[in-house]
Structure 1
Amino acid sequence: MAAVDLTSSSADATPTADATPSGADTASTTGAPTLIGSVQRAMRLLEAAASHLHGAPAKQLAREAGLALPTAYHLLRTLTHEGYLRRDKGLFVLGEAAERLGNSGAQQSRRGTIREALDHWRDTIGVPVYFAMYREGEIELVSVADTPGNPAVEEWADFRETGHAHAIGQCLLAQLDDAARQDHLDRYPVQSITRYSVRDDRTFMRRLDAMGRMRPVVERQEYALGTVCAAIPITVGDTAATLAISVPACQADRLLPAAQRLQSELGKLLGTLAFSISI
């Protein structure tokens, strides 16, 4: 909204009963906070429009926002020009710019909720915790919780392109059907990452078949030397997701107990993670 200059131009050019008194758009001599009247009025119009799913005419929005009709017309014209409103058969509805703002806020809220959950289990179990999804044909690492003392694996090779080599990718691809797996490998063929990683597509497909769709996955130094990882599958609707952890190879005896503990507590996290699928 900051990019829209509502404090000048035609938005306040016509004097009305609702016009801001001289000096109201500048800091007062009493030191009170500066209030930009035209921005306030525009926000009231947006709030009024948002309350009508199928839109409302200018007169109704002006009345609900407590604005004189000429002022409302000026602001509605500006908001429509900037994409915050859209006019359809004389009715004003929220436009794409306003929807983007709403989606961005919801996304940040959801990601914050996921991060809080991961932070909790990072501190409880004492290992880095990862949450990833397979969406629109890509491996997406949504959030990671680690500490300086227990750092996450460094993404030295693009996670999206090396799903065959790390536990996150193996766990996600194992949840897909054969056609989706093959489509992924057509775009991201198997390549040697370390001396422990699988060498070719056919061998990798056989491995996925042997894993089963909803079995935990353990990967030992296939993506990063000196690191072992485990991933737990999560499926919500048609979306494949996973929670994963990692530990240094020299502490490999911690991996399975930590993964088992996380899996046993997964029910407490599932609602939060399922909510994130819509991100």
Structure 2
Amino acid sequence: MALKPEPTAPFQSVQYALRVLECVARHGGGVVGTQIARETGVPSGRLSPMLLMLRREGYVEQVADGAYVMGESLVLLGSGDDRRQALEDKLQRTLSEIRDSVGAAVYISRYIDGEVKITQYADGPRAPKVNEWVDFRSAAHASAVGKCLLTQLDHNGRRDHLSRHKTARLTSRTITSEKVLFTKLDNQPPTVPVLDLQEYAVGTVCAAVPITAGQAVGCLALSLPIEHAHRLRKAADALNRKAAPVLLSLAI
């Protein structure tokens, strides 16, 4: 079952978005699109969809004369004491939107203090979450989430992780050879979703894309029951395209 989702570049999108937001923030009274393009250098073909995304996410608002000003989300995420709760609420809304859009349970996972942790997720009756039959902290070698996080660690970081969590066989598809696993991780293109085709659990397929913000290692993932495996490629492509708003929230 060879699945090779088309690569996209959420990181470049976020770099452009941050430039746009910095420009809007500099112009407290509002700034029009042509001036944003001139000051940021964002290609014209990318600027219009970028501004649409930023409006949809509440980072900018367009006022009566067509100029752009800072939106409520940007104000909330930039305000000290309330930032953590505002970020969590923003990410939860985004996850719910992605769940409904791709028709799958979606997750944000972070690598914190040497462990794999699911920090937020959105599931539902039509998008059941994975049954965590083995602690995700012990299954990084098998799950899409874990492998995606491991790809973002250096060689020593991976070795340290696997010295604490052995590569146990969870299904007949689980990679238990550290050498084979490291080779696959090394060959994983950073802009292509990492897949789990029943490696963690029989009956479930998953995909994950990195959402690294600064020094924090993280990923955005989805899971599907095996009867929906035919949708995995399309869902993984959509997940990759939708990673930019999540990454942007973490980067602000």
- When normalised by structure 1's length, the TM-score is 0.58
Aligned to 2:128: 151
**d(CA) in 2 for partners of 1:217, 1:254:** 15
Supply the AA of the counterpart residue of 1:178.
H
Segments of 5+ residues of structure 2 without an aligned counterpart are 1-79
Aligned to 2:243: 266
SS at match of 2:142: coil
Query: Shift of the alpha carbon at 1:177?
Result: 0.4
Query: Shift of the alpha carbon at 1:212?
Result: 4.1
**d(CA) in 2 for partners of 1:273, 1:120:** 17
**Residue correspondence of structure 1 range 188-267 to structure 2 within 5 A:** 188-267=165-244
Aligned to 1:94: none
CA contact (8 A) 2:144 2:221 kept: yes
Query: Shift of the alpha carbon at 1:273?
Result: 3.4
Sequence identity, in percent?
39
- Structure 2 residue 159 is matched with structure 1 residue 182: yes
**Residue correspondence of structure 1 range 73-112 to structure 2 within 5 A:** 106-112=83-89
- When normalised by structure 2's length, the TM-score is 0.64
Query: Shift of the alpha carbon at 1:213?
Result: 4.5
Structure 1 runs (4+) greater than 4 angstroms displaced = none
Deviations along 1:193-245, one digit per CA (max 9) or x if unpaired, are 11110123222222212224553201100111111101011221122111111
Q: 1:242 to 1:181 in 2, by over 3 A?
A: same
- Structure 2 residue 121 is matched with structure 1 residue 140: no
Aligned to 1:168: 145
**d(CA) in 2 for partners of 1:215, 1:134:** 19
Deviations along 1:52-109, one digit per CA (max 9) or x if unpaired, are xxxxxxxxxxxxxxxxxxxxxxxxxxxxxxxxxxxxxxxxxxxxxxxxxx97x65443
**d(CA) in 2 for partners of 1:201, 1:254:** 30
**d(CA) in 2 for partners of 1:268, 1:213:** 18
**d(CA) in 2 for partners of 1:250, 1:149:** 13
**d(CA) in 2 for partners of 1:120, 1:158:** 27
Q: 1:126 to 1:273 in 2, by over 3 A?
A: farther
CA contact (8 A) 2:213 2:247 kept: no
CA contact (8 A) 2:110 2:218 kept: yes
Supply the AA of the counterpart residue of 1:246.
S
RMSD: 1.8
**d(CA) in 2 for partners of 1:125, 1:209:** 28
Query: Shift of the alpha carbon at 1:116?
Result: 1.0
Aligned to 2:90: 113
**d(CA) in 2 for partners of 1:132, 1:164:** 15
CA contact (8 A) 2:204 2:225 kept: yes
Number of residues of Structure 1 aligned to a counterpart in Structure 2:
173
Deviations along 1:147-191, one digit per CA (max 9) or x if unpaired, are 022111011111011100100000000111001011000111111
CA contact (8 A) 1:194 1:223 kept: yes
Aligned to 1:49: none
Deviations along 1:93-140, one digit per CA (max 9) or x if unpaired, are xxxxxxxxx97x654433222111101111122111111111221111
Supply the AA of the counterpart residue of 2:179.
R
Larger radius of gyration: 1
**d(CA) in 2 for partners of 1:131, 1:192:** 25
SS at match of 2:236: helix
CA contact (8 A) 1:174 1:212 kept: no
